[in-house]
């Protein structure tokens, strides 16, 4: 039998092995994962994770379209890393955290902080001595951060997303969505800065990011220092 007679069977075998390693094995391990259920006296009291819907789901598309994953990751590494010490999470992330994401937005780099749990009240990034450190990153904080990051984060190198906002003339009463800005950023008298639907959706998505629910495969939960009020 000539050598060419072994070529195509060998090529087929290489393809089969590659497919098994890169596609079939991960699917068999992860594809069948289900949410974790917390049961108390026969009643399901908590389900994690749950699929995002509404404005948060729309915000995920804005997050991707704006390229946020180029500078922010969404994966917390284990105790061998500094991620938990930084305050980015109370445990490492695992496959079950991402079962409703297609695909998971894991990110490309960490020019900015990891956002896996940015919607959690315990998430932190700045040192405690930072005078701009917020008590809580609520909706108003996130909107101001998008509009002009340096207004709320000292030395931030994040670009401004002011184009996701609109400056408009106040008609009647000011909008409840209008940003409260320092004098050097405030619009001229009689005008206000309001977020677009994309900005609102993006903030709703960020507020939904909280992968801190206990999971057996994730190991122990770290005790994070409380955010000072």
33 CB-contact burial (10 Å; exposed 0-12 / middle 13-18 / buried 19+): middle
**Same domain flag for 74 and 15:** no
- Judge if 24 and 95 occupy the same domain: no
Q: Which domain range does residue 35 map to?
A: 9-44
Average pLDDT of span 43-63: 90
Do residues 162 and 185 both lie within one domain? yes
CA–CA separation, 124 and 84 (whole Å):
10
Q: Per-residue pLDDT averaged across 66-85, rounded? A: 92
- Angle made by CA atoms 157, 160, 166, in degrees to the nearest 5: 170
**Considering the domain boundaries, does residue 229 fall inside one?**
no
Same domain, 38 and 67: no
Whether residues 26 and 82 fall in one domain: no
pLDDT band, very low/low/confident/very high, at 27 (cuts 50, 70, 90): low
**Whether residue 205 has pLDDT greater than 80:** yes
pLDDT at 228: 47
Examine residue 224 and state whether it is found in any structural domain, yes or no: no
55 in the same domain as 23: no
**From CA 207, how far away is CA 209, in angstroms rounded?**
6
| CA nearest neighbour of 134 among 146, 124, 119, 148 | 124
Backbone angles phi, psi at 179, to 5 degrees: -75, 140
In a domain, 117, yes or no: yes
The answer as to whether 173 is a domain residue is yes
d(CA 210, CA 157): 24
- 133-176 pLDDT, tens digit per residue, is 888 889 999 999 999 999 999 889 999 999 999 999 998 888 99
Q: Are residues 149 and 198 in the same domain?
A: yes
Same domain assignment for residues 23 and 108: no
On whether both 110 and 208 belong to a single domain, the answer is yes
Choose the weakest-confidence range: 64-78, 83-97, 126-140: 126-140
Q: Which residue has the tokens 């940015």?
A: 118
In a domain, residue 1? The reply is: no
Q: How many structural domains comprise the chain? A: 2
Residue 220 in tokens: 């122990």
* Same domain (yes/no): 20, 62: no
Read out DSSP for 184-206?
Answer: TTSPPTTEEEEE-HHHHHHHHHH
Residues 38 and 115 in one domain: no
Q: Domain of 57: which CATH number? A: 1.10.760.10
Residue 150 and residue 37 in one domain: no
For residue 21, pLDDT beyond 80: no
pTM summary value: 0.83
pLDDT tens digits along 174-185:
899 999 999 999
Residue 228 maps to a domain: no
Q: Is residue 225 part of a domain?
A: no
Instruction: Say if 134 falls within a structural domain.
Output: yes
Which of 20-34, 81-95, 138-152 bottoms out in mean pLDDT, i.e. has the lowest?
A: 20-34
What is the number of H-type helices and E-type strands within the chain? 6, 4
């Amino acid at each position: 039998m000539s050598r060419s007679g072994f070529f195509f069977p060998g090529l087929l075998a290489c393809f089969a092995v590659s497919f098994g390693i890169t596609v079939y094995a991960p699917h068999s391990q992860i594809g069948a994962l289900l949410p974790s259920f917390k049961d108390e006296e026969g009643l399901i009291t908590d389900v994690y994770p749950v699929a995002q819907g509404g404005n948060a789901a729309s915000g995920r598309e804005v997050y991707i379209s704006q390229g946020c994953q180029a500078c922010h990751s969404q994966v917390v590494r284990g105790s061998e890393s500094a991620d938990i010490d930084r305050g980015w999470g109370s445990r490492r992330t695992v496959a079950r955290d991402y079962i409703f994401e297609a695909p998971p937005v894991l990110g490309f780099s960490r020019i900015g902080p990891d956002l896996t749990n940015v919607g959690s009240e315990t998430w932190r990034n700045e040192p405690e001595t930072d005078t701009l450190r917020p008590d809580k990153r609520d909706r108003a904080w996130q909107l101001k951060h998008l509009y002009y990051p340096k207004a709320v984060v000292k030395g931030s190198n994040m670009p401004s997303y002011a184009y996701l906002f609109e400056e408009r003339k106040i008609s009647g009463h000011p909008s409840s969505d209008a940003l409260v800005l320092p004098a050097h950023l405030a619009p001229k008298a009689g005008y206000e800065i309001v977020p677009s639907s994309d900005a609102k959706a993006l903030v709703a998505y960020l507020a939904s990011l909280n992968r801190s629910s206990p999971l057996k495969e994730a190991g122990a939960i770290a005790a994070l220092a409380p955010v000072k009020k």
